[in-house]
Amino acid sequence: MSHFAKVDENNIVIQVIVAEQEYIDTLPDSEKEKYIQTSYNTHGGKHYKPNSLIREEDDGTPLRKNYAGIGFTYDSERDAFIEPKPYSSWKLNEETCLWEAPIPEPDPKGDHVWNEITKSWDELIV
């Protein structure tokens, strides 16, 4: 089984399904071209071991830079799925096709939230 992202006329992902390639091949050409294979083991142009608790890279082949999600855009020139831009100040990393803040998040990562007004990271207080 594989994952396929269905895109609309603007190449926006509207659905992600699990299917055999044979099923996709039975669809009419006008429908078949809307389904683009994606891999949940791919993130930032790297392939990771399936079902691991921490991201551990393996020697698998990454597919289309990132696993597709609803609302993502499929960029055919980059052959990549790109998530919606989270903030206007963020820039796309051309290698990973991930959005990056203008300044890196301080360590420990995940303990901060981006403040678009100040263009800085605020400590996350729980």
Boundaries of every domain in the chain: 1-84, 86-126
Q: What is the mean pLDDT of residues 105-117?
A: 94
- pLDDT of 80 higher than 90: yes
Mean of the pLDDT values across residues 74-79?
98
Is-contact 16 3, C-beta < 8 A? yes
pLDDT of residue 54: 77
Q: For the segment 22-65, what is each residue's pLDDT rounded down to a tens digit?
A: 999 999 999 999 999 999 999 999 999 987 777 888 888 999 99
Closest listed residue to residue 82, CA positions, set 5, 18, 29: 5
pLDDT, position 126 = 81
DSSP letter for each residue of 60-120: SPP-SSS---TT-EEETTTTEEEPPPSSTT-EEETTTTEEE-SSPPPSSTTSEEEETTTTE
